[in-house]
């Protein structure tokens, strides 16, 4: 954060409040701290999953839902949170989201059965849905045009760090205390964040339109149907009525969602945004990026514990070259995007990630040494850092102020859907290959699973080439 602390600029009074001037660094902290808390909980459970599995006597399907219940509710309610923010005030909804997330975190820590943890994680996701898109919207609206690329870069770095540090923080907390403590940690952060947000960020509004409840229902149940069908495929049979009904029903509901959004007077997702090539391609890349990288992380972090016998903390420390790289790389990528071009940064970042995951798939074995996989961790981490901030910039590059919240919410929604689908699909590949959560039944099935993740990342790099060329960042 030293790059920001040396700046003396403050936010223009006309953009914030006629009564006070707020330092730019304080606005960045206020917008980013709750968002960090939400992104951290995407994967904070990964290091704790083997411990939770034993403590709650959970199966591999339930392990997936511990993560996906959060990501699916996160994705489903994100655009609705944006719409409510436009109507009720973005800061107001942001603070409500912090409160819901904090309370749900406490309830997650108190869970004693798998179903209880799944439900409370879903409620957590509802609170988080207000945090990710509105944090970026509030930040961009609070920072002068001159410093927006840098602010977005820092925001992207913090967002990436929250996701990437999940396994490390989760491992440290589980080993030092217990798995419940990973949720208790959110409570003081949430309590501190509320007054900080109320002081430092303006309560901006957008178009006060009617809430698109039908759109919310169609997309939420549709995505849930797809993920449920994928999760149940191997156990129930891919040709079973349960699985086929879920997959077909989910697909039909998503098609109905698109049709409804095309004619709704106040759509949850304005389809006109996709007329912009930068927005459309960046979102396709976003969902593929999340699918490949976080689906792979779900498989890999458990490999270090279940197969190689490392403790949760040891597994987290071993992945630090991967997890810490975005903290350094993402702000630099945001700073230099206008010189290098967002497309170049995104393509290179995705190629590095794909190379890193392919490397791991070729070297993974029960007795592989840490030195043999260290380079793969570094490649994947640098690649993540190169993608986070530039992709957010590409999404907003040609979006006018009135649509910025919807655009940001759409991008965050698709990324979270990518996380859920990635975990579901790669776990389905793992279990379909005969994978078991045992030292002897893991590696042979994990290799094809993460190979799929690497292939998706490679494909997303090819898609990213379609982003508009040029080195001018035109966020406005």
pLDDT for position 144: 65
| Weakest mean pLDDT among 22-31, 264-273, 346-355 | 22-31
Tokens representing 296? 């792979």
The answer to whether position 9 is within a domain reads no
Do 169 and 281 sit in the same domain of this protein?
Answer: yes
Grade residue 289 by pLDDT with cuts at 50, 70 and 90.
Answer: very high
CA distances from 367 to 310, 322, 451 (A): 12, 20, 19
Indicate if the pLDDT at residue 457 is higher than 70. yes
Q: pTM surpassing 0.75?
A: yes
Tokens representing 248? 């077909």
The answer to whether position 227 is within a domain reads yes
Percentage of the chain exceeding pLDDT 70: 90
Q: Are 33 and 196 in contact (CB under 8 A)?
A: yes
The whole-angstrom separation of Cα 283 and Cα 408 is: 10
The whole-angstrom separation of Cα 76 and Cα 253 is: 13
Indicate if the pLDDT at residue 12 is higher than 50. no
Do 246 and 195 sit in the same domain of this protein?
Answer: no
DSSP 145: G
The answer to whether position 13 is within a domain reads no
The whole-angstrom separation of Cα 35 and Cα 370 is: 32
Q: What is the pLDDT of residues 393-411, one digit of tens each?
A: 888 878 887 777 678 778 8
The whole-angstrom separation of Cα 409 and Cα 162 is: 18
Indicate if the pLDDT at residue 264 is higher than 50. yes
Do 177 and 253 sit in the same domain of this protein?
Answer: no
Grade residue 416 by pLDDT with cuts at 50, 70 and 90.
Answer: confident
Q: Are 34 and 207 in contact (CB under 8 A)?
A: no
Do 101 and 224 sit in the same domain of this protein?
Answer: no
> How many other CB atoms are found less than 10 A from the CB of residue 237?
12
Q: What is the mean pLDDT of residues 346-361?
A: 95
Could you tell me the residue range of the domain that residue 445 belongs to?
A: 22-212+264-464
Assign 10 to helix, strand or coil: strand
The answer to whether position 86 is within a domain reads yes
Do 193 and 205 sit in the same domain of this protein?
Answer: yes
The answer to whether position 451 is within a domain reads yes
Tokens representing 409? 């919410």
Indicate if the pLDDT at residue 22 is higher than 90. no
Q: From its phi and psi, is residue 237 left (phi > 0), alpha (psi between -120 and 50) or beta? A: left
CATH of the domain at 422: 1.20.1250.20
Residue 434 backbone phi and psi in degrees, to 5:
90, 20
Q: What is the pLDDT of residues 201-210, one digit of tens each?
A: 888 787 677 7
Q: Which residue has the higher pLDDT, 425 or 437?
A: 425
Do 27 and 98 sit in the same domain of this protein?
Answer: yes
pLDDT for position 450: 94
The whole-angstrom separation of Cα 452 and Cα 256 is: 29
Do 61 and 151 sit in the same domain of this protein?
Answer: yes
Q: What is the pLDDT of residues 316-336, one digit of tens each?
A: 888 888 877 877 787 777 777
pLDDT for position 324: 77
Q: What is the mean pLDDT of residues 72-101?
A: 87
The answer to whether position 52 is within a domain reads yes
> How many other CB atoms are found less than 10 A from the CB of residue 321?
18
Do 166 and 257 sit in the same domain of this protein?
Answer: no
The answer to whether position 39 is within a domain reads yes
pLDDT for position 19: 39
- Tell which residue, 408, 87, 91, has the closest CA to residue 270: 408
The answer to whether position 3 is within a domain reads no
How many Cα atoms within 13 Å fall on the side-chain side of residue 472? 3
The whole-angstrom separation of Cα 27 and Cα 13 is: 13
The whole-angstrom separation of Cα 115 and Cα 53 is: 12
| Weakest mean pLDDT among 61-70, 179-188, 257-266 | 61-70
Last residue of a domain, one of 231, 263, 295: 263
pLDDT for position 473: 42
pLDDT for position 8: 30
Do 36 and 120 sit in the same domain of this protein?
Answer: yes
Q: Which residue has the higher pLDDT, 64 or 471?
A: 64
Indicate if the pLDDT at residue 6 is higher than 70. no
Assign 23 to helix, strand or coil: strand
The full DSSP string for 253-312 is HHHHHHHHHHH-SS-SS-GGGGGSHHHHHHHHHHHHHHHHHHHHHHHHHHHHHHTT---H
The whole-angstrom separation of Cα 25 and Cα 7 is: 8
Grade residue 466 by pLDDT with cuts at 50, 70 and 90.
Answer: very high
Do 118 and 245 sit in the same domain of this protein?
Answer: no
Do 248 and 320 sit in the same domain of this protein?
Answer: no
Do 420 and 446 sit in the same domain of this protein?
Answer: yes
Q: Are 439 and 313 in contact (CB under 8 A)?
A: no
Counting the structural domains of the chain, the total is 2
Rounded to an integer, what is the distance from CA 344 to the centroid of its chain? 22
- Most confident range, picked from 14-18, 219-223, 324-328: 219-223
């Amino acid at each position: 954060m030293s790059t920001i602390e040396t700046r003396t600029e403050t936010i223009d009074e006309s953009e914030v409040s006629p009564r006070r001037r707020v330092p730019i660094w304080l606005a960045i902290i206020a917008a980013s701290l709750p968002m960090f808390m939400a992104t951290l909980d995407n994967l904070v459970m990964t290091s704790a999953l083997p411990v939770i599995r034993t403590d709650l006597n959970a199966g591999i399907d339930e392990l997936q839902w511990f993560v996906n219940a959060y990501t699916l509710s996160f994705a489903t309610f994100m655009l609705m949170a944006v719409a409510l923010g436009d109507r009720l005030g973005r800061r107001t909804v942001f603070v409500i989201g912090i409160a819901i997330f904090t309370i749900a975190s406490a309830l997650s820590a108190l869970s004693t059965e798998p179903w209880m943890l799944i439900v409370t994680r879903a409620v957590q996701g509802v609170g988080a849905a207000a945090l990710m898109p509105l944090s970026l919207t509030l930040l961009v609206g609070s920072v002068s045009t001159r410093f927006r690329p840098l602010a977005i870069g820092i925001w992207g770095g913090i967002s990436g760090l929250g996701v990437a540090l999940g396994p490390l923080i989760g491992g440290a907390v589980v080993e030092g205390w217990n798995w419940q403590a990973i949720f208790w940690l959110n409570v003081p952060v949430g309590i501190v964040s509320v007054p900080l947000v109320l002081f430092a960020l303006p309560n901006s509004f957008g178009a006060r339109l009617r809430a698109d409840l039908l759109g919310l229902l169609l997309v939420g149940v549709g995505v849930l149907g797809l993920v449920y069908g994928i999760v149940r495929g191997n156990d129930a049979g891919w040709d079973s009525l349960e699985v086929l009904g879920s997959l077909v029903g989910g697909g039909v509901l998503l098609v109905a969602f698109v049709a409804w959004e095309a004619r709704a007077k106040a759509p949850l997702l304005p389809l006109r945004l996709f007329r912009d090539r930068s927005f459309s391609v960046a979102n396709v890349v976003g969902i593929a990026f999340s699918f490949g990288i976080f689906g792979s992380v779900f498989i890999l972090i458990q490999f270090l514990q279940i197969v190689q016998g490392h403790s949760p903390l040891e597994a987290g420390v071993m992945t630090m070259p991967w997890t810490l790289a975005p903290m350094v790389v993402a702000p630099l990528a945001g700073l230099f995007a206008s010189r290098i071009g967002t497309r170049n940064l995104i393509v290179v970042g995705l190629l590095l990630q794909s190379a890193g995951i392919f490397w791991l798939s070729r070297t993974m074995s029960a007795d592989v040494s840490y030195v043999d996989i260290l380079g793969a961790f570094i490649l994947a981490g640098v690649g993540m850092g190169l993608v986070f901030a530039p992709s957010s910039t590409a999404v907003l590059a040609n979006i006018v102020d009135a649509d910025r919240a919807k655009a940001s919410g759409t991008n965050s929604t698709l990324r979270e859907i990518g996380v859920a689908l990635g975990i579901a699909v790669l776990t389905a590949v793992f279990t379909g290959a005969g994978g078991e959560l045992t030292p002897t039944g893991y590696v042979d099935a994990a290799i094809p699973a993460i190979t799929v993740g690497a292939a998706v990342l490679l494909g997303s790099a090819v898609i990213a080439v379609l982003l508009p060329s040029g080195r001018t960042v035109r966020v406005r």
